A and B are shown apart, each in its own frame.
Chain A
Amino acid sequence: MIEFSDVSVKYDGAPDWSIQSAQFVIPEGELALVVGSTGSGKSTLLSCINGLVPHFTGGTLAGQVIVAGRDTADHPPRALADVVGMVRQDPLAGFVTDVVEDELAYTMESLGIAPAVMRRRVEETLDLLGLAPLRTRTLRTLSGGERQRVAIGSVLTAQPKVLVLDEPTSALDPQAAEDVLAAIQRLVHDLGLTVLLSEHRLERVVQYADQILIVQDHRVTQFLDPAAAMLESPVTPPVVDLGARLRLNPLPLSVRDARRAARPQRELLLAEQNGQAEPPAARRGTTPIAQIDKGHLRYGNQIVLRQLSTSIQAGTITGLMGRNGAGKSSLLRLLVGAESATSGRVQVGGVDPKSLRGASLLAKVAYVPQEPDDLLWAETIEQECLAADADANKAVGTTQQLLSQLLPGLDPTTHPRDLSIGSRLMLVLAIMLAGDAELLLLDEPTRGLDYAAKDRLSAVIRSHAAQGAAVVVATHDVEFVAGLCDRLMILADGDLVTDDSAQSALLDSAMFAPQVAKVMAPLPYLTVTDLPLQFPPLAETESAANLNPADFLPAETNRSGGLDE
């Protein structure tokens, strides 16, 4: 269905090839996953499939890409619209019309499909993707998951043979991501569609993949079996890390497989702990930095936050989770004074954040919003960093130093807008961290980041918390919260429904439990690093009963350091 013969891509003005001699064939009906680190060339690879590279983006394409018998060299994207459905990262940016139904019909209108056929296909697609109740809704009022499903539907109505999805779940909460992936799976199974998708959050998708392509340093591997691919991949989901740690063979890709395979280890640990597997008590600081007292926020008739009271302590890292549109961003905006509460009181360090300006704001509150681009206006990364140093009255080089911790090996003369979304986010984070604010607010900081980048981000956040900053992270990324946060707040419909230690809240939740917790339950482990350090493989011993538990139980739960009780 898709055939790459010795394909290399180079953008105009770029010093290096973005993709080098890719050679592979994707047969019909496969669900193929493209895996790779940030900036490794995944998006470029996907854009080759419908001819956006090179027809739309410019640049040079060497070699040959053949999709459904058509050579992309002489077929521009519009001439491939009937065989390739392309859903790019931000669905809202790609919507042409403004109502769900019209959007679904748009591609068909361009293709000149008969009105009666169009009507039938729109109805079918509405049902297939569960969009029927939304048919007359304005696209801007849809939630993230709904938008993604409409975007998929809008290319599906043309009945393409290939569906290409660039990070379809990156902006979605766990439930919405499940819905989207379930819809994709259905398409593969029922319609025999060939699907190619890229995703950073492997824990969400790897179990669905038939084949995996690894993109590393601009080189693309052959097709690999998922289990084999995970052994080679530079990025692996927690369940695979856990499998490797427990030396499970074959390597599990799903929670279910891992749970079944890890039963002996689990029982062993349980026996050792004599059922006293209680999670440690919640760690909370004592000095409150931020306080919200009956904060109420309303837009028109819609209540965003309902009489919410909470306080955030120095030195703690708080996770803020909840559905798309549950009020997470609004809460953060309230804390930075970008929003005024309809009623109630908000205080940061004893003052109303709305009254803060300039350097005094930077010293109190730093907020990294979801759209990092708004905060960038210099020509180069270097200028941006110098401006940040000056704004915060810090020594020259402070921001640059932070940036190199977060994102090593960045060319300081690059234009900020040429960076990938994840890199731009890191740049803004470095800028905002430079002020050493007492309260650090991060809105979805893990979008577009691979696991290694997330680890670096966690380390930087932890060191700031260790120096006494209070951190609040709004995110959908369960695994990130599991590895970082002390405390978890879950918002639903403007109410604070959970406020507990991250460990007990995550272990207790069906939706928000991280993979390791699901596999190891009822043992209270959230991440692979929580596990005992030594873990001999069971196969090498006679039986589990003969093992000496002392071999593998220096049970040090090595979680966020630097917090004094």
Chain B
Amino acid sequence: MAATFAPRLLHPGAWWLWALGLAVAASRTTNPILLIAIAVAAGIVVAERRVAGPWGRSFSLFVKLGVLIIAIRMVVEILLGTSAFGTVLFTLPELPLPEWMAGVTLGGAVTADALLLAAYEGLRLAVMLLCVGAANSLVNPSRLLRIVPAALYEVGVAVVICLTFVPLLVADTQRIRVARRLRGRTNRGPKAWGQMVIPLFAGALDSSVALAASMDSRGYGRNTGLTKRARALNAVMLLVGLLGVAIGLYGLLQGGASVGSGAANLGWAMLFVGLVLAMLGGGLSGRRVTRTRYRPDPWRLPETLVVLAGALPAVVFIALGDAAVLTGGASPLGWPTVPLWPLLAIAVAAAPSFISPPVTTAASKRESVPA
């Protein structure tokens, strides 16, 4: 038992499922108290279990992005909102718009109710994004490759390389700005930008070619015994299937999970067909893939516990359906309620901060020491 909870990196899938659970819960409510509670829960876990390196520090970036989203949502509401009821805070001059844009008003009365609702909706989106940010800080994206189905492996490698490419591009830009100064040029004006782009992209191209040569030399994409057509078919089946799963889930989350309503039925159907297609494609091509995996991440008790902790708020919130506790009390204006059970569920979701195994000291401490 002790070994199960000994310091190690948790299975990447567990963290992502946990984060998705929180995100689903967040998507079901506009109650600011619950949303902030979810954000705090995610923050606590990140603070305790984040990985070392730049990815581990990305959470604060997502927090800033979240604040920006709320601000944008409110500005849009002020400018374009159609506040039909509630307490009028102030009135902007209304701009007449051409007829073909009927339904859209620019300016006009801004009510407290509408503004508060916009803020809550912005907060909801921000918190959902924060959950994704939490997963990013808890799992280095390259480790996600380990759980990508074998059939999608080649696509996965490309995606991960793109992900790591962005931070490198930032570093390259800084270096090139310095280089321009060395040659006595300025960094202002469109011409300067044009000249900066050339070394930037030429450099990026060179490094991709070097990486491709290295991967080719090391056996990436070795002959797999399947024809090109069969491989393409498998990949298409898998991708279409996953897309179906995604659309199905979206439909369910939007339309409510109760069987009967049209949207829900379509959602279930999409989910089912998608799953079948993905499993078929994945299974078929998985069989031909001769890749093996070095030290695959084990799935032990902590992984299950973490996933359950994340799933609990999602289940509770979905079960509550459209209950009043989940709405923020923006209209009519009022203080949001403080519901006990959803809050407890969120508290459970923060439990991975101590029930998951600590991040290995070797993996966290060492990495932070630059050579």
A residues near B, CB below 8 A?
A: 50, 52, 55-56, 76-82, 84, 86, 88, 90, 93-98, 101-102, 105-115, 118-119, 122, 135-138, 141-143, 146, 154-155, 158, 299, 302, 324-325, 333, 336, 338, 357-359, 361-362, 366-367, 369, 371, 373-377, 388, 391-392, 417, 431-432, 435
Contacts and interface: CB of A to CB of B under 8 A. Distances in A.
Given A122-B294, A375-B179, A88 B214 contact: yes
B294 A136 contact: no
B227 interface: no
Given A81-B219, A362-B184, 12 more contacts: A56-B213, A94-B210, A110-B218, A112-B290, A114-B292, A118-B295, A154-B218, A362-B183, A366-B182, A369-B182, A375-B182, A375-B199
Q: Which has the most chain B C-beta neighbours within 10 Å: A302, A357, A374?
A: A374
8 contacts: A77-B216, A78-B218, A108-B294, A143-B371, A358-B185, A361-B184, A417-B202, A431-B183
B229 interface: no
A325 B369 CA distance: 12
A210 B216 CA distance: 30
Q: Choose among B175, B202, B217, B367 the residue with the greatest number of A CB atoms under 10 Å from its CB.
A: B217
Interface in B266-321: 290-296
Contact of A358 (B184, B196, B362): B184
A76 B215 CA distance: 12
B182 to A, nearest CB: 5
B363 A136 contact: yes
B153 to A, nearest CB: 9
B262 interface: no
B186 interface: yes
Most buried by A among B52, B181, B218, B292: B218
Nearest to A108: B294
Contacts of B369: 141
B142 interface: yes
Contacts of A324: 371
Closest 10 CB pairs of A and B: A94-B214, A81-B219, A110-B219, A105-B294, A374-B179, A112-B290, A93-B210, A86-B217, A107-B218, A377-B198
Nearest to A374: B179
Nearest to A97: B142
A361 B367 contact: no
Given A81-B222, A109-B293, A435 B184 contact: yes
A136 B210 CA distance: 24
A109 B291 contact: yes
Nearest to B362: A136
Interface string B246-281: 000000000000000000000000000000000000
A392 B216 CA distance: 44
Contacts of B53: 138
Contacts of B199: 373-377
B211 interface: yes
Nearest to B294: A105
B183 A79 contact: no
B95 to A, nearest CB: 46
B360 interface: yes
A141 B292 contact: no
Contacts of B207: 93
Interface string B145-171: 000000000000100000010000000
Contacts of A97: 142
A88 B210 contact: yes
B221 interface: yes
Contacts of B371: 141-143, 146, 324-325
A137 B366 contact: yes
Contacts of A141: 367, 369-371
Contact of B222 (A110, A338, A373, A431): A110
Contact of A96 (B175, B185, B218): B218
Given A52-B216, A94-B211, A98-B140, A108 B292 contact: yes
B195 interface: yes
B184 A391 contact: yes
B354 interface: no
B142 A391 contact: no
A338 B366 CA distance: 29
A534 B199 CA distance: 51
B365 to A, nearest CB: 10
A52 B213 contact: yes
Nearest to B371: A143
B195 A377 contact: yes
Contacts of B290: 111-112
B213 A375 contact: no
A315 B239 CA distance: 67
Nearest to A115: B292
A115 B202 contact: no
Given A93-B207, A141-B367, A369 B179 contact: yes
A112 B292 contact: yes
Chain B CB count within 10 A is highest, among A82, A111, A119, for A111
Q: Output the residue of A55, A324, A325, A367 with the most chain B CB within 10 A.
A: A367
Given A122-B294, A338-B182, A367-B182, A78 B221 contact: yes
A221 B360 CA distance: 54
Nearest to A137: B366
B222 A79 contact: yes
B294 A81 contact: no
A277 B183 CA distance: 45
Nearest to B9: A136
Given A56-B213, A96-B214, A113 B292 contact: yes
B164 to A, nearest CB: 7
B214 A93 contact: yes
Contacts of A90: 210
A51 to B, nearest CB: 9
Interface string B192-232: 00011011001100110011111111111111000000000
Contacts of B52: 138
Contacts of B370: 141, 299, 302
A375 B218 contact: no
A158 B369 CA distance: 30
